[in-house]
Amino acid sequence: MQSNELGLRSAPIAAKSDNATRVIVLGASSTFGAYARTNSETFPSILQRYNSELILDVINAGIPGNDINNQYKLYEQLLTGLSEDVLILYSGLSNDISRLCRTKTAKKNYSLPQLQAPKWLLTVDLLLKNSTSLRYIPYKYAPLPDLTPYLQQYEAQVQQILILAQHRGVKQILLAENLRSFRPEQPLDLQQELANSALYYTPCLSVAQFSQVFNSYNKVLSGISTNYTNVHYVSLSKDVPGGRRYFVDSVHFSAEGEHAMAKTLAHKLSQLEQLQP
């Protein structure tokens, strides 16, 4: 992994070329490329190299752990003066949805001992996340929390990003559908297996509830896009199917998933008249 002068997993940012379309991809760990072995294997980097009539200059602004509020702060405070033509938001959602399960009185309960180590030690966190099934406790039904205040907050923060982008003169904005590897059409046991890492962060939700929440957040993005002429909701589910082929865990892409993301976004950009050479 290599970072540039802004601390991003992207190439050094040179002066913008007159014949290039500069793209910022804003998001969290899925945008960053949590399981991509090199920078060139992340979907923002693949997008830049994708064969099309457009010459793209793509900046990967994905930061693991960033929720939508921190994505706005990153865009507002660090990503300034870049003269981007396109903003792609793939917010990822995991860090926003996990707050549904945060309560002051909640106590962690594991059927096997939990490893203890500082939170910054990534190896331990990965061991815990990827061994969720070993500590699995059968889900006891609980009603879904009222999503209204969470969805309203998410919508307000996305709107902040859009307003700032419009103020900067960004030509086109893509709100990308947030994806997960487990889908309702899959057998329930497969959904449970694929959802393990997601449920590590949201133990108060069942697999079905997690999917319901995910869909609710995506509907917010779709609804927002109807209020702007240059904001487009990009549906990705058909082009990036669920399962192990396209995902490493619940939400992070495999190598094939990274390529599928880049291909779909490149196709959408090629359709936008304002970006045609």
Q: What is the CATH number of the domain that holds 178?
A: 3.40.50.1110
- pLDDT at position 106 is 46
Angle at 274 between CA 270 and CA 277, to 5 degrees: 65
Q: Which two tokens stand for residue 159?
A: 């709107």
Contacts 24+ apart (CB under 8 A), 149-158: 150/96, 150/99, 150/100, 151/216, 151/217, 151/220, 154/68, 154/96, 154/217, 154/220, 155/220, 155/223, 155/224, 157/68, 157/69, 157/71, 157/72, 158/68, 158/89, 158/91, 158/220, 158/221, 158/224
Residue 120 gets which letter from DSSP?
T
- pLDDT at position 225 is 95
Q: From the DSSP assignment, how many helices (H) and strands (E) are in the chain? A: 10, 5
- Distance in angstroms (rounded) separating the CA atoms of residues 247 and 191: 13
Q: Is residue 96 part of a domain?
A: yes
- pLDDT at position 104 is 54
Its domain, for residue 61, covers 21-106+147-186+206-275
Residue 155 gets which letter from DSSP?
H
Q: Is residue 211 part of a domain?
A: yes
Q: Is residue 200 part of a domain?
A: no
Per the structure, the count of domains in the chain is 1
* Helix intervals (H) in 60-202: 68-77, 94-97, 122-130, 148-167, 188-194, 196-201
**pLDDT means over runs of 10, the chain (277 residues):** 92 90 96 95 95 87 94 96 96 86 59 57 62 57 86 96 96 96 93 87 87 95 95 96 95 97 94 71
- Distance in angstroms (rounded) separating the CA atoms of residues 29 and 211: 19
Contact call for residues 176 and 93 (beta carbons, < 8 A):
no
Q: Largest Cα–Cα distance of the chain, in whole Å?
A: 59
Q: Is residue 7 part of a domain?
A: no
Contact call for residues 96 and 154 (beta carbons, < 8 A):
yes
- Distance in angstroms (rounded) separating the CA atoms of residues 109 and 214: 25
Q: Is residue 122 part of a domain?
A: no
Beta bridge partner(s), residue 5:
none
Q: Is residue 111 part of a domain?
A: no
Q: Is residue 142 part of a domain?
A: no
- What percent of the residues of the chain are helix, what percent strand, and what percent coil, each to the nearest 5? 40, 10, 45
Q: Is residue 270 part of a domain?
A: yes
